[in-house]
Amino acid sequence: MADCLEMTKLKPSFYTEVGLHPVFAINEENMLLSVADHKAKLKKLIEKGGDKCIAIGECGLDFSEKYSNEE
C-alpha cells in the first residue's frame, strides 16, 4: 500500500487526508491506545502532512469490536 503522505510529493496538485482507523489504534506492543494516545497519533500524521494534509478522514474509536480503549 502506498503512503499517501509520500504521494503528495509527486505533484504539486496532490493533497491528502489522514485518518486512523480503529483497527490500527494500537501501539508497538499491540496494546490498545487510550483516547489521548489515539489523538496524539493522529496529530503526528497531520503534522507530517503539513500543508499537503487538508482533511481528516476515517478515524474513530470502536468500542463494540474492542479495537479501542475507553480510558
Would you say residue 1 has pLDDT above 50? no
For the stretch 34-67, pLDDT in tens is: 778 778 888 988 898 899 999 987 666 666 666 5
What is the band of 27 on the pLDDT scale with cuts at 50, 70, 90?
A: low
11 and 49 in contact (C-beta within 8 Å)?
A: no
In whole angstroms, what is the distance from residue 1 CA to residue 57 CA?
Answer: 17
Q: Enumerate the domain spans of the chain.
A: 4-56
- In single-letter form, the type of residue at position 15 comes to Y
Judged against a pLDDT cut of 50, whether residue 19 lies above it is answered with yes
User: Which residues pair with residue 18 across a beta bridge?
Assistant: 56
Q: Which three cell numbers stand for residue 9?
A: 510529493
Is pLDDT above 70 for 12? yes
Strand, helix or coil for residue 10: coil
Which residue type does 1 have? M
